[in-house]
Structure 1
């Protein structure tokens, strides 16, 4: 007995983006448990289907397929004795998933089960269709592409990364120039901060020697944190999971750098106050840079922007300005 597949009334086929539903086909060979292999072979030879990799064995009611009983691989059906029945040929424990399941989970379930097709059934066992091998392969390739992209720190897929590599000059400028202009404005702000600290610099010109070092170390610590956060966001790691650890790491890095700075500056320049100023500034600047480097990529991701484009330049501007503010504030308090 063979009956064309007809979805049950009131149970339309869902199409959920990113789910197995988008890959399900309903035009597949169906038969009842008592269908002979000979009848099944005749149906397969003369029939046309979206996928004939497996035959779905179902119970029937009201002229429509009902509960899935098992699957028969095409090669098994064609090679079987014509007198055998479908119930004797079918796999009674095929891979089965519910509508709406994530496509990657569904594809891996089929792959680990060793079946060609994946059956989609409702919670009550109602047969909804099959995901054929070609579509399972498409899911696996898509997910593999996305996994490689995540390892590289991209948010969506490597296809977008390739597009970024091949995009025309106009788009390249549009994606980069606004952030670089913001950096230019930030450098102007930094110049104004240095000008505002003119009295402190005049009282001890040695303070100017360490401005590049303070700014660079804060940027370096922030860049490390930023790279880790962007990679974490790309694989779905929530920011709250890394916030405490990275904040503590930034503080410890600042403490280590401060511990190295105090004796070095004290011995070389002979100034305990200057050594204290530099050590406190490094500790504070590195801690603040870590927080900034975590916050900006997270904020950009929340706003739907790719952190890989703007968080680097923006974080650099903010970290530089804050590092200078911290440095001159501590210098004024310690040396003033």
Structure 2
């Protein structure tokens, strides 16, 4: 598995080096903040669901102060139910535990779960957002403003790669005991299995977080972390045109960091706080017309074409499954098919 993931990382790196980057990026050491790569780190940008990193930070804070507990049940309000996908879609009045809502927030990026948690902690969504902005200022996120707890489109909701780096360092340092939540590839709610949007958790060696985000104006964003040889690096990538490009660029930056960390130590002492301010515009740029999304502009992402080896492997898997099924007398029965669908 390690060999496979390393090969994938190298392929991604080579692919990214031949393509133009879309938006801001920042690569840094999560422990000491040392910057290994920076591009447009102070350009205002819509965070999309990267907003939920701050929401999670405040949930962790509330758990620490016993404002809420993991076992506490919180209701689905009309406001939470009205949020558009991605969401759990539970009916108004239903209840789930804080623990389950927190996992849905991070893994599923559920917008209704974000509102449920905000209302449970702040008393109202508006009060919770005020706490988000106060916390942002405390963490030094001077170019960030939140207007909702989930990241759905809002012109005033802005941040920068530098500010997201500050938030990432804070959540990993202040709440290291919650780190396993960021590594979860999926979660279970009832009979439903919900998978993360962070494909790097499955394909990149050492990947252990953190969060993806997408709206039409922001493009495909990610804060990606990985640990190798007891060193944890983090890459903030904003404004990519496809989800594949998002993963590709983040993996390439992380690989660059792991391979060149020693040289960076010798020639640069810049940190997330001290790296020079980059040239910027006063307002966030929109990549709506450039992203590959049918919902944004009618464009569709191209499907990856399988290699000959992948085709052979899939054919072999289908043949094996067919042979196994033929050995079972009950295989193919109507009742078995119905049972499989219900599970």
Q: TM-score, normalised by structure 2?
A: 0.20
Q: TM-score, normalised by structure 1?
A: 0.21
Structure number with the higher helix fraction is 1
Compare relative contact order (CA 8 Å, sep 6+) and give the higher one, 1 or 2. 2
Larger radius of gyration: 1
